[in-house]
């Protein structure tokens, strides 16, 4: 049992949950303003690829992340324009964005780097690993929370800030009102579309960070389809957490832990094709117990909240 459960497992879980949490927070923002964003997988994939491209050209991780944010936000605005301005079905647009991202990153990988499948450069520098003073010296806590990239800590802070914004600020109440009842919100002067576009841009930023954590934080390379369904898991985490920041954090922690646990099982000679199923089996089980189907009806109604 000690072989399976130790502090290193929780340390890995914290690192693995980060891209899921970041994307899920983006999904929660969209859901709160009535946009059920199923394109998280594609946005994460574009973020992972453009972070590598930015790192290759600028040779600077900060500029690489900034480049990824700009690129993903452009795709988010395209999503917003189609679904908000042109009133296209958000589910269809989200699925189309996922396929577009998969094809575009594969094409761009061969065009820019002249390789197939994966790109790796031994000279490329990934995100730094931080050891927070004082915390690193605390027994147990230090072993779990030390040695992560800045995005790991940022994701947890963002979950707390988003909770504060939703439930402790006037602007946050207006944001929630824009998704809960758009008609009533408009009658009191709230610019619903402005909040919807803002949510989509914020979602783009978060998905770019999620992709950068995958390609520059966990490894320093890009492989075709490297998100491997994490965007869809983030979508489930959004629904499981009822689009609340703390609920999303808890659901992401569950999926991150199961993902890390599946990797640990491979280390004790369990067949890899079996252990890789674990996070997805947990996702299915979570959806089985998720009985609030109100979000499905709401998602089909473009003018109301999709929580």
DSSP string, the chain: -TTT-SHHHHHHHHHHHHHHHHHHHHHHHHHHTT-----HHHHHHHHHHHHHHHHHHH--HHHHHHHHHHHHHHHHHHHHIIIIIS---HHHHHHHHHHHHHHHHHHHHHHHS--SSEEE-TT---PPPB--TTGGGSTTHHHHHSSB-HHHHHHHHHHHHHHHHHHH-HHHHHHHHHHH-HHHHHHTT--HHHHHHHHHHHHHHHHHHHHHIIIIII-SEEETTTTTTHHHHHHHHHHHTTT-HHHHHHHHHHHHHHHHHHHHHHHTT--HHHHTTHHHHHHHHHHHH---THHHHHHT-TTS---
The pLDDT, as a whole number, for residue 20 is: 94
| Per-residue pLDDT reduced to its tens digit, 248-275 | 999 899 888 888 888 887 776 677 777 7
The pLDDT, as a whole number, for residue 306 is: 45
Question: How many residues are there in the chain?
Answer: 307
The predicted model scores a pTM of 0.89
- Cα–Cα dist 269/28, whole Å: 38
Q: Which residues contact 291 (CB under 8 A, 6 or more apart)?
A: none
CA dihedral sign of residues 179, 181, 182, 184: negative
| Per-residue pLDDT reduced to its tens digit, 212-231 | 999 998 888 999 989 988 89
Say how far residue 2 (Cα) sits from the centre of its chain.
Answer: 31
The pLDDT, as a whole number, for residue 282 is: 77
The pLDDT, as a whole number, for residue 54 is: 94
Which regions in the chain score pLDDT beneath 50?
296, 299, 303-307
The pLDDT, as a whole number, for residue 297 is: 55
The pLDDT, as a whole number, for residue 3 is: 64
Q: Which two tokens stand for residue 72?
A: 């993903």
């Amino acid at each position: 049992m000690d072989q399976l459960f130790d502090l290193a497992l929780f340390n890995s879980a914290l690192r693995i949950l980060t891209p899921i949490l970041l994307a899920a927070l983006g999904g929660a923002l969209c859901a709160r303003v009535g946009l059920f964003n199923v394109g998280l997988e594609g946005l994460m994939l574009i973020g992972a690829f453009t972070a590598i491209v930015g790192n290759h050209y600028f040779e600077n991780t900060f500029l690489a992340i900034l480049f990824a944010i700009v690129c993903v936000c452009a795709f988010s605005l395209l999503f917003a324009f189609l679904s908000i301005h042109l009133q296209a079905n958000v589910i269809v647009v989200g699925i189309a964005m996922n396929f577009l991202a998969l094809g575009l990153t594969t094409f761009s990988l061969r065009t820019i780097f002249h390789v197939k499948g994966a790109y790796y450069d031994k000279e490329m520098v990934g995100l730094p690993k931080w050891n927070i003073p004082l915390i690193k010296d605390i027994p147990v806590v230090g072993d779990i929370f030390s040695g992560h990239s800045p995005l790991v800590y940022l994701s947890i802070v963002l979950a707390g800030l988003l909770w504060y914004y939703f439930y402790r600020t006037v602007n946050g109440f207006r944001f929630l009102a824009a998704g809960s009842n758009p008609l009533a919100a408009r009658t009191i002067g709230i610019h619903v579309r402005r909040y919807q576009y803002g949510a989509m841009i914020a979602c783009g930023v978060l998905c770019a960070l999620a992709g950068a954590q995958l390609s520059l934080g966990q490894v320093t390379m890009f492989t075709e389809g490297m998100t491997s369904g994490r965007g869809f898991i983030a979508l489930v985490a959004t629904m499981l957490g009822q689009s609340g920041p703390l609920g999303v954090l808890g659901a992401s922690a569950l999926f991150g832990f199961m993902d890390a646990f599946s990797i640990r099982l491979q280390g004790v000679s369990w067949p890899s094709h079996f252990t890789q199923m674990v996070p997805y089996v947990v996702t299915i089980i979570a959806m089985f117990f998720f009985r609030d189907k109100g979000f499905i009806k709401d998602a089909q109604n473009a003018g109301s909240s999709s929580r």
